[in-house]
Amino acid sequence: MMPMHSRALPSNSKVKHQVCKSHVLRNTEELAESLARAINAGEDRSLEELGVAPAEALADLERLVELVHSRQPEQETELEALHMRYIRARAPRKDQQATIAYRLRMLSLDRWELWRRLTLYRRWEGSGGERIDGTNNGAERAIGWWIKERYRPMRGYKRIESILNVSRLITWMGNHLATGGADLAMVVA
């Protein structure tokens, strides 16, 4: 079953997009930690309404973090089952704070919706057999390198070889992208 409220790319987009694994993992860990603190503090009784014991909710949070760490495409069904445990959690009314159960519902839904984009690098293959290398988006790396290259002279280099081998190459390639003189993708992919 596909997520009910999928946040896919716009319908006119034909490009599949890998989400940043690092950001999703860091965000998941922070939210899970925050929810675990709230569960341990006994802040509300919303889990009881669903028939979920606090220990079960804590185990679910731990498992959710494990799933986001491992990012195996076939784990999507486990993520769906985890979300379904909290599907009946009621949304807060206006001017009400979200309950623990509702926050678990939304966190599990969000990760379930992201799952195919989070695991894209494990499944995608281009028409020529191209694969995604498992690091984060190549375009993000290229932008990072270009930006870092521009500020490196201000903070200095650590090795003379870096000045000669990296700095000039990236700068030349970046300056000649529009003229067909360089293919930066060959360096960052």
Over residues 119-142, the mean pLDDT reads 71
Residue at 170 is within a domain: yes
Residue at 9 is within a domain: no
Q: Is the pLDDT of residue 6 over 60?
A: no
Same domain? For 114 and 43 the reply is: yes
Same domain? For 56 and 147 the reply is: no
Per-residue pLDDT, 13: 47
Same domain? For 41 and 65 the reply is: yes
User: Domain end: 123, 147, 164, which one?
Assistant: 123
Whether this prediction's pTM lies above 0.85 is answered by no
Q: Which is it for the CA torsion 25, 28, 34, 35, positive or negative?
A: negative
pLDDT digits (tens, 9 = 90+) for 158-169: 666 666 666 566
Q: Which is it for the CA torsion 23, 73, 61, 91, positive or negative?
A: positive
**From 44-48, 114-118, 138-142, 177-181, the region with the lowest mean pLDDT:** 138-142
The better pLDDT of the pair 87, 8 is held by 87
**From 51-60, 80-89, 177-186, the region with the lowest mean pLDDT:** 177-186
**From 15-19, 24-28, 56-60, 78-82, the region with the lowest mean pLDDT:** 15-19
Residue at 107 is within a domain: yes
Containing domain of residue 103, as a range?
A: 21-123
Quick one: what percent of the chain has pLDDT higher than 90? 49
Q: Is the pLDDT of residue 127 over 70?
A: yes
The better pLDDT of the pair 111, 137 is held by 111
Q: Is the pLDDT of residue 12 over 60?
A: no
Same domain? For 114 and 146 the reply is: no
Q: What is the DSSP string of 103-170?
A: HHHHHHHHHHHHHHHHSHHHH-B-TTS-B--SSS-HHHHHHHHHHHHHHHHHH--S-HHHIIIIIHHH
Same domain? For 148 and 81 the reply is: no
Residue at 131 is within a domain: no
Q: Is the pLDDT of residue 10 over 50?
A: no
Same domain? For 107 and 182 the reply is: no
Per-residue pLDDT, 165: 65
Same domain? For 36 and 119 the reply is: yes
Q: Is the pLDDT of residue 17 over 80?
A: no
